[in-house]
Amino acid sequence: MHFSNSMLLMTALTAGSAVARLHGHDRRHAHPKLDIDVLDVEAEAPAVTPSPEVEKRGVGSEVFATIDGQLVSWINEWSGAQSSESSAEATTTPASIASPASEALVEATSEAASTVSPTPVASSSASSGSSNWASYPSNGEYSRSGFGSSTASKRVGSLDWDYIGNIGSPWGSNIIRVEEDVASEYKHVIRFENDNAKAWTVVMWNSYGPSGGLNGFWSPNSALSFTVEPGHSIFVAIDDDSQGGWGASEGEGLPTNFVGEYASTWGEFDMSNSQNDGYSGWDVSCIIAQLANLEIAGMQICNHAGEKCSSITKGAGATVNAYTSADQGKTDKAVAQSAGPVRLVVNLGWSS
């Protein structure tokens, strides 16, 4: 892939990574191959802050790219700033629930939010099998308590990532924190575990941002953010037909690259995709961090039984079903699951 506009080079690069697509029964990530002749990866790394200042990004400029041998173009409508009407600034709250990016949703769920607290990690096991959080409702009916309204899915083009699923109304309200004792009531649940000596920050997003562009993974966008203290875990529920991911980093805040994208190790998800027979999928990716010459932290994502894993160790020394910069354009790295509930365990700072 060759871009004529370096400011948006990373957006198209991550398009396939950020919006996973399932074709038939295969998990597909169309990471386009990239010719990096316009990217200065030696640029000085930005400060790591919870809400880094974002520069103007050429709104109205026409951007060209060659993807899978075809020349495509679009008009950049993303300035790097969030709309105050659609979402709030990213926040990192160590002890309280990290709210979805909407004041209205916070008010609607304030009673439930006040009771959400970190859960001590039961063990270092990936499965954490002693907990009931991974069970399912016997009647097959799943809770939507705390979620905002679901948004209708739509296609905005013919490419793999030109699909906008449920992004929540208000934006980000399809991704919420829940207590362990009610987690089993939800269809898609992720348990974030920290077995390390220091706290880790997690920022979650929808692939498509509040403005409707493929920019949910640009700072300061945040559907949900929280801190996982050492020896604790946090549970997150995700609504149907949601596509997005999260960045995780030790300490406060996430690093960004020189154009403002979150540039830590990523986890990515696609939950009950309505255009692919309800299939789900997940993977770990370090593409953005690696291209920006920033630290690659370890991360592992497995189902609750410790199977169907995707992982990257620190520095990308070892990978399993995961994406590095060398895997751009490959379509067979991520993990797929047939239609049904999803229970995932994320090990932050993973080392094999």
More confidently predicted of 11 and 201: 201
SS3 129: coil
d(CA 94, CA 230): 11
Q: What is the pLDDT of residues 251-263, one digit of tens each?
A: 999 999 999 999 9
What is the biggest distance separating any 2 CA atoms in the chain, rounded to whole angstroms?
Answer: 55
Residues 104-118: what's their mean pLDDT?
39
| pLDDT cut 70: percent of the chain above it | 63
- Give buried/exposed letters for 185-223 (b at 16+ CB in 10 A, else e): bbbbbbbbbbbbeebbbbbbbbbbbbbebbbbbbbbbbb
pLDDT at 120: 57
Indicate the CATH number for domain 6-348.
2.60.110.10
- In terms of average pLDDT, the best of 9-18, 114-123, 251-260 is 251-260
Q: What is the pLDDT of residues 173-182, one digit of tens each?
A: 999 999 999 9
Any idea which residue has 């895997």 for tokens? 327
Residues 210-232: what's their mean pLDDT?
97
Q: How confident is the model at residue 237 (pLDDT cuts 50, 70, 90)?
A: very high
Q: How confident is the model at residue 332 (pLDDT cuts 50, 70, 90)?
A: confident
Our CA dihedral for 161, 163, 166, 172, rounded to 10 degrees, sits at 40
pLDDT at 131: 64
Could you tell me the sign of the dihedral formed by the alpha carbons of 57, 59, 62, 65, in that order? positive
- For 319, residues 6+ apart whose C-beta sits below 8 A from its C-beta are 284, 311, 312, 313
Q: What is the pLDDT of residues 277-291, one digit of tens each?
A: 999 999 999 999 999
Q: Which amino acid is at 216?
A: G
Strands 188-194, 342-348: pairing kind: parallel
Tell me the domain boundaries of the chain: 6-348
Q: How confident is the model at residue 329 (pLDDT cuts 50, 70, 90)?
A: confident
Q: Cβ of 8: how many Cβ atoms within 10 Å?
A: 22
Q: Cβ of 287: how many Cβ atoms within 10 Å?
A: 25
